């Protein structure tokens, strides 16, 4: 602002104007994402709440039957479906992911880590439709041959295994950086007290990285709950309460993607309400994540 002073006040004013305009443009751009969130909330809730009032909140969230032809809309089976499949994914994904993260952070030599890390990011980059296709042509026939069951291969178990694979990169990436963030002195202290490398890693470093690991699991839950295309291809999609892990199940995401194409009137609104329930679910998970992260800093 000092350089162009010689050229007169007009130009200085012009430049100051430019600065102000630019500042405003950047500010406006930054507000776009706030606007996006506001729009999403407004449009989802504006459709969902009236539908909820028509169906009855208890009927909607607690109803065990989903029968659009008779205008019966209970999403409890889908809620249970999402929870089962996500729980299964955590069961399969977390142990493998966490141990792989420990391996990468504390055990791998630089050469093995140099091979494994790109493989993990490759896994993170695969489109969900490719996972779904793999599940459909490999996992479904495999589980049908091995275990059979009423779902004929398309079941809670299949979806859980596939989702467990899909959340692996998230778990590995976030847990590994949490493990790396633990000060080296913890590890060395344990070694100096006579613990082996393995014991020190598992009983000193791992507990110290607890909140970061928890954050990775919460992120994994978020990804598993929101996953659509892969689940829809392997879960069987029957809209009823499942009786066992070998039965097919429908998740909230699957419910939307399967029926939105032809839904009309209240049916359509009920589907949007399903999406809103999913949205609220995800917001709660994000809130949990924020708390976990804050716990890290304290």
Partner 1 sequence: MKKPDVLSFLLRWLVRAAALVTTVLVLVIAGYVLINGVPQLKPSLFALKYTTSNVSMLPALLNTLMMTGLSLFIAAPLGAFSAIYLVEYAKRGNRLVKVIRLASETLAGIPSIVYGLFGLIFFVTALKWGYSLLAGAFTLAMMVLPVLMRTTEEALLAVPDSYREGSFGLGAGRLRTVFTIVLPAAVPGILAGVILAVGRVAGETAALIYTAGALEELVKSPLDSAATLSVHMYHLAGEGLHVKESYATAVVLMVMVLGINGLSSLAAGKMSKGGKCAS
User: Hey, which residues between 144 and 183 contact partner 1 (CB under 8 A)?
Assistant: 165, 168, 172
Closer residue to partner 1, CB minimum distance, 19 or 188:
19
Choose one: 73-81, 104-112, 150-158, 176-184; the region binding partner 1 (CB under 8 A): 104-112
Is 29 a binding residue for partner 1 by CB under 8 A? The answer is yes
Binders of partner 1 in range 65-94 (CB under 8 A): none
Residues that contact partner 1, how many (by CB under 8 A): 89
Give yes or no for residue 19 binding partner 1 (CB under 8 A): yes
- Of 24 and 244, nearer to partner 1 (C-beta) is 24
Q: Interaction with partner 1 in 226-265: which residues (CB under 8 A)?
A: 226-229, 233, 253, 256-257, 260-261
103 touches partner 1 (CB under 8 A): yes
Which tokens in the block code for residue 248?
């097919």
In the complex, minimum distance from the CB of residue 185 to partner 1, in angstroms, rounded to a whole number: 21
Closer residue to partner 1 in complex, CB, 80/104: 104
Say if CB 124 and CB 218 are below 8 A apart: no
Kindly identify the residues of this chain, within the stretch 38-57, that bind partner 1 according to CB under 8 A.
Answer: 39-40, 43-44, 47
Q: Which range of residues in 61-69, 70-78, 126-134, 174-182 is near partner 1 by CB under 8 A?
A: 126-134
What's the min distance (Å) between Cβ of 71 and partner 1? 20
> Which position among 9, 10, 33, 185 is part of the footprint of partner 1 (CB under 8 A)?
33
**At closest approach, how far in Å is the CB of 293 from partner 1?**
10
Long-range contacts of 40-48 (CB under 8 A, 24+ apart): 40/279, 44/272, 44/275, 44/276, 44/279, 45/276, 47/269, 47/272, 47/273, 47/276, 48/269, 48/272, 48/273, 48/275, 48/276, 48/277
| 199 lines the binding site for partner 1 (CB under 8 A) | yes
């Amino acid at each position: 602002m000092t350089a162009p002073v010689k050229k007169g006040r007009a130009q200085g004013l012009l430049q100051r104007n430019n600065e102000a305009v630019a500042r405003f443009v950047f500010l406006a751009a930054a507000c776009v994402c706030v606007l996006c969130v506001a729009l999403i909330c407004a449009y989802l809730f504006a459709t969902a709440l009236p539908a909820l009032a028509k169906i009855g909140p208890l009927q909607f969230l607690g109803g065990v039957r989903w029968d659009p032809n008779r205008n019966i809309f209970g999403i409890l089976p889908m809620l249970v479906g999402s929870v089962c499949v996500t729980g299964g994914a955590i069961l399969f994904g977390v142990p493998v992911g966490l141990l792989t993260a420990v391996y990468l952070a504390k055990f791998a030599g630089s050469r093995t880590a140099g091979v494994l890390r790109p493989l993990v990011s490759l896994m993170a980059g695969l489109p969900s439709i490719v996972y779904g296709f793999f599940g459909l042509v490999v996992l479904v026939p495999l589980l049908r041959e091995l275990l059979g069951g009423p779902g004929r291969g398309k079941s809670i178990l299949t979806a859980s295994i596939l989702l467990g694979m899909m959340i692996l990169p998230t778990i590995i990436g976030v847990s590994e950086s949490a493990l790396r963030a633990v000060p080296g002195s913890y590890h060395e202290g344990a070694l100096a007290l006579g613990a082996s490398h393995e014991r020190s890693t598992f009983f000193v470093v791992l507990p110290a990285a607890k909140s970061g690991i928890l954050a990775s699991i919460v992120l994994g839950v978020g990804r598993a709950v929101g996953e659509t295309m892969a689940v829809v291809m392997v879960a069987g999609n029957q809209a009823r309460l499942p009786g066992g892990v070998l039965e097919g199940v429908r998740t909230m995401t699957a419910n939307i993607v399967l029926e939105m194409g032809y839904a009309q009137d209240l049916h359509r609104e009920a589907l949007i309400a399903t999406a809103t329930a999913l949205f609220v679910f995800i917001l709660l998970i994000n809130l949990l994540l924020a708390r976990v992260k804050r716990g890290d800093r304290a």
